[in-house]
A and B are shown apart, each in its own frame.
Chain A
Amino acid sequence: MTCAHSSCASALLRIHGLTVRYAASQEQSSPALVGVEFDIRRGETVGILGESGSGKSTLALSILGLLPVSTNITGSMLFENKDLLQFDESAWGTVRGTRIAMIFQDPGLSLSPVMRVGDQIAEVLRAHRPGPRKVRKQQVEAILRDVGLSQGDRIYGAYPHQLSGGELHRVAIAQALSCRPDVVIADEPTQSLDATRQAEILDVLREVNRKFGCAIIFITHNPALLAGFADRVIVMYAGRIVEEGPVPQVFRQPLHPYTKGLLQLVPASLQDPDRTRGQHLPALPGSLSHSDRSTRGCIFESRCFARTELCQSESPREVVPEEGRRVSCFNYEN
C-alpha cells in the first residue's frame, strides 16, 4: 500500500499494516483489523467513520495497547519513530494518558462511581506529573475551566451521579487532556447526548484542538459529526480502510460505494422539502456479516450496488485517484 500524503515524514503516529486477530477467533474466523495503514500528523483532526463491527474500537484500543494479551497483533505503530507494538507495560506507562489519551464513549461508565470527579482527574496528573497535592488541585480546576466548567469547586467535589450528562462528558474530556497529550482518541464521545449537547461537546473538542494543538482521532458512525469538524476522514469497513481523504472532498464526492451509502444516510436529507411523509428512511442494504471477511473478493461485494464479476473473485487494490485521497475499489483502478 502506498501512503497518500506528501507530508509523511512529519507524521506523529504512523500505523503500518496493522492486523489484529483476537485469540478466540484464531484461524477459523477473520481478523478484526486487516492491514490498516494511516498517519496522524501533529495537531490535525481525523475522523474514523464506520458502522458497528468495522473495527473502529479495536483500532482505538490497539493504539493504547489495551487489547487483551492473548490478541495476535502484527504490523507496526510508530509513535515519534518508536514502535508502540514493541512496548512493555512500563513503557506504555509513559505513553498512555500522557502522550496518547482517550475519551471514552460513555463517561457514566468510564468514571468511577465512588470517587469525586476532581480526584479522578487529579489521579491522572499524579500518575504522570508527580507534585504536591495542592498544586494538583489548582491544575485540575484550571483544566475544568478549559473544558467550559467554570464552577470548578462544585464539579471537583461532585460524584459522577451528581453531574448532568453534558458535565460528565466535559469531565471525561478534561481527564483525557489533563496531561496535554499529543494525540486524543475520542470514541463516539457524543453518542449518548442530544443534538444541542453534541454540538457543545464538538465545540469543546475543536477549542481544545486549537488551543493545545493536540491531534484528535474522532471515531464515529455518524458522518454529520465530522462535517466542519475533522480535516480528514478515514472510512472503515470490516476491519479495512476502504477510503481516505480530506473531509470536504470526500463528502462532496465520495468514491467508494460504501462511503456513498453512508453519506446518503445523513438525516439532513430529511429536511428536503421534496421528501413526503411516510417515505422510508434511507438504509444500506444488507448487514456487515462476518463470513464476508474470509471469502475471496471485495469485502463489500455482497452489499455493493456497483458490483461486477471481478468483485466476487478478487479484492481491489488501493488506488490514489488524486493527491491526498485513496480508495479500494475496482471502479477507480483505471
Chain B
Amino acid sequence: MKYLERRVIHGLLLLIGVSILCFALSAAAPGNFFDEMKLNPQISPSTVAGLRARYGFDQPLVWRYGHWVESVLRGEWGYSFAYNCPVRSLLLVRARNTLILTGLATLLAWLIAVPLGVWTANRRGRWDDRLSMASTSLLLSVPELVIALVLLYWAVRIHTLPVGGMASVDFGGLGVQAKLFDLALHLVVPVTTLVLASLPLLVRHIRASMIEVLQAPFVQAARAHGIGGARLLFRYALPAAANPLSSLLGLSVGALLSGSLLVEVITGWPGLGPLLLDAALARDIYVVVGAVMASTLFMIFGGILADILLVAVDPRVRLGKV
C-alpha cells in the first residue's frame, strides 16, 4: 500500500502546484472584476477602491495566495464576487452535476467499449472488425462540438427531448420517480455526446490490448486444452489485458471530466463548465481557481482509481512482484 500512499502525496503536490500556477496566471491576465465598475458613472471611485481593498486587491499576490489557502483550510475556497457567496457552495452543486454527467458517460462508454473491443479483436480483419474500425475512425475525427450540435439539432426536431439544463420548470413538484425520469431525459443529449466522443479511443485501445493478449502463449495453450469462444475471450484474455486497461480507465475518467467542460457549455448542463466559463469572462478569479482545482481533483481521483483497480485485478501487482 506504500505505492498508493505515494500516489496520494503526489496528488496533493500536484494540487498545490496547480493552485499556484492558476493564481499566477489569473493575476497575469489583464483586468479584474472591479474594472467594469470604474466605467459605471453611478459607482464612485472610492467605492471601487473600498471593494478592492476589502478583497485584498491592493495587496501583493503572495499575500492573496496565502489568504486564499487560509480560506481553503476554513472550507470556504475563496469568495465569489459575482455570486456574492463562498466559492465552496457554488462548487459543490456544480461538481455534483458534472459528476452525474461524466460518471454516467464513463460507465456507459466502458459498458459498450469493452465488449466491442474484445469482439473486434477476436474478429480481426473480418467485415465486422473493419466496420467498427471505420466508424471509430470517423467518430475520432469529428470534434465533440460537432457531435453535440448534431444531437441538439436532432433533439430540437423530435420535440420529445429537453434541450439544455438538467431539470424541467416543474421539477420541484414531481415525485421521486418522475424526478429521476426528468433527469434522465435531460441527460440524453450531453451523455450521448460524451459517450460518442470517448468511445472510439476506448474501443481502439481495448482492441489493441486484446489482440496482443490473444497472441500470448497461454491463450494458445488454453485453446489447445479445448477452451474457446466467449470463455477464452472473457475468462482468459480480458483479465490479462486488465493491466493496461485499468490505466486507460483512470485516464478516461480524467479526460472525460476535462472534456465534459466544453460539452456542458454547449448543451447547457449546469456543471463546472459553464461556471468556469462565466467566471473566467467576469474575472471572478476565486471561482476560476476553485473550478480548476475541482477538475484537477477529479483527474487525480481518476489516477488513484486506476491504481486501486490495478491492484485489484492483477495478482502480480497485488502480491508484490513486478
Q: A interface vs B, CB < 8 Å?
A: 64, 66, 89, 92-93, 95-98, 101-102, 104, 106, 109-115, 123-124, 127-128, 159, 161-162, 175-176, 179
Contacts and interface: CB of A to CB of B under 8 A. Distances in A.
B217 A123 contact: no
A60 to B, nearest CB: 9
A115 B321 contact: no
19 contacts: A64-B224, A95-B226, A96-B223, A101-B225, A102-B221, A102-B224, A102-B225, A110-B218, A111-B218, A112-B218, A112-B240, A113-B240, A113-B315, A114-B242, A115-B235, A123-B227, A123-B235, A127-B228, A161-B316
B319 interface: yes
Contact of B225 (A109, A159, A161, A175): A175
A175 B224 CA distance: 11
Contact of B220 (A66, A114, A128, A176): A66
Given A66-B223, A111-B218, A113-B240, 13 more contacts: A93-B228, A96-B223, A98-B226, A109-B217, A109-B218, A110-B220, A112-B236, A112-B239, A114-B240, A127-B226, A128-B226, A159-B316, A179-B226
Contacts of A161: 315-316, 319, 321
Contacts of B225: 96-97, 101-102, 123-124, 127, 175-176
A104 B321 CA distance: 24
Interface residues of B, number: 24
Contacts of B227: 97, 123-124, 127
Interface string B299-322: 000000000000001111001010
Given A104-B217, A162-B319, A114 B314 contact: yes
A104 B221 contact: yes
B222 interface: yes
Contacts of A101: 224-225
B231 interface: yes
A66 B224 contact: yes
Contacts, number: 82
A102 B222 CA distance: 10
Contacts of A114: 239-240, 242, 313-316
Nearest to B236: A112
A19 to B, nearest CB: 22
Interface in B194-228: 216-218, 220-228
A307 to B, nearest CB: 39
B226 A124 contact: yes
Contacts of A89: 228
A258 B314 CA distance: 48
